[in-house]
Amino acid sequence: MSDHHAVHVRGLRKSYGDLHAVKGIDLDVAEREMFGFLGPNGAGKTTAIKILCTIADATAGSATVAGCDVRSQRAEVRRRIGVVFQDPTLDTYLTAEQNLRFHGELYGMPRRLLRERITEVLDMVGLARRRHDIVQKFSGGMRRRLEIGRGLLHAPKVLFLDEPTIGLDPQTRASIWDYIAELRGKQDITIFVTTHYMEEAEYCDRIAIMNHGEIVVTDTPDALKSSVGKDRVRIRTENDTLAIERLRQLFQLDAAIHDGMVTFSVSEGAQFVPRLFSSLGVAIDTVTVTRPSLDDVFMAYTGRTMSDTEQAGDPSTFARMLAKR
């Protein structure tokens, strides 16, 4: 039922001539969920988001956003969404406040409400003290935060963020995600975000992995990681040979020494550790548990790693780069 979903998509397709960018995807995003669209360049993420934001028309299929049909209720959808796209769209010669005011006026927000909301969102994205500074003086991270604030100005039900951290350094990326995560605590909002950074998908409640225009799997990051394999446990013990022997006897686990530590794979590693301590009968000095990464997940579902797909030089991406020049 679309009424109970912030985003409800069935059989969505988009073709550019012979190129099938989105090949009939189904998707449900719950209200207040942080939902991630993950995939390499050219997977079709931006195309799908553009359709949901009413910027592009679908070739086939249906979609509702905040309960409104993206085809027949465009204006209603637009009023209910906030959008932050990859390409910066701030007026750098205007101040932070002027950028926000301009946007609010475009949305026909009443003057008093607009003044209050500008104060609120600048506070929310940590730019209250830079309100009257021109954007030209802002760092990349500050600009992106201002764009996110602008996307929130008219109190949207659903916020779409297309690669919100692209081109930013790792530290700034982490701080942008902190702001996004904080937002959820403060606002009654659904966040739909695309990224091709695996580690960023960890922030999402659920993620859909998109590849070649199709959604190959949708689940929570934890469930996806559990689905692809076991955790790796490494222990340093008083007597490694005995520890290996006991692991085999007690738990039927095949352990070996790697980098000076007894290493083995087991499901639910964190839950296994207490049993290990209580039953092994060999003193353990240190223990580390490593979960499978989302890179492992991507590999399992697509047969290649994210970096493989980027290094292979997706010709469509290259064509777009040329087109942008």
Ligand X SMILES: Nc1ncnc2c1ncn2[C@@H]1O[C@H](COP(=O)(O)OP(=O)(O)OP(=O)(O)O)[C@@H](O)[C@H]1O
Binding residues (CB under 6 A) for ligand X: these are 16, 19, 21, 39, 41-47, 196, 316-317, 320
Residue 306 CB neighbour total at 10 angstroms: 20
**CA 82 – CA 72 distance, rounded (Å):** 19
**CA 44 – CA 271 distance, rounded (Å):** 38
Cβ atoms of 36 and 196 closer than 8 Å: no
Dihedral sign, Cα of residue 198, residue 200, residue 203, residue 208: negative
Instruction: Give 45 or 173: the residue with its C-beta nearer to ligand X.
Output: 45
Question: Smallest distance from the beta carbon of 15 to ligand X, in angstroms?
Answer: 9
Question: Smallest distance from the beta carbon of 47 to ligand X, in angstroms?
Answer: 3
Structure tokens that stand for 279 in this block: 């039953």
Amino acid at 225: K
Question: Smallest distance from the beta carbon of 42 to ligand X, in angstroms?
Answer: 4
Question: Smallest distance from the beta carbon of 49 to ligand X, in angstroms?
Answer: 8
Cβ atoms of 59 and 19 closer than 8 Å: no
Question: Smallest distance from the beta carbon of 40 to ligand X, in angstroms?
Answer: 7
Instruction: Give 50 or 101: the residue with its C-beta nearer to ligand X.
Output: 50
Instruction: Give 2 or 47: the residue with its C-beta nearer to ligand X.
Output: 47
Instruction: Give 211 or 237: the residue with its C-beta nearer to ligand X.
Output: 211
Instruction: Give 49 or 121: the residue with its C-beta nearer to ligand X.
Output: 49
C-alpha angle 299-27-298 in degrees, rounded to nearest 5: 5
Cβ atoms of 201 and 195 closer than 8 Å: yes
Instruction: Give 97 or 163: the residue with its C-beta nearer to ligand X.
Output: 163
Cβ atoms of 249 and 212 closer than 8 Å: no
Question: Smallest distance from the beta carbon of 210 to ligand X, in angstroms?
Answer: 7
HSE-CB for 181 with a 13 A CA cutoff: 12
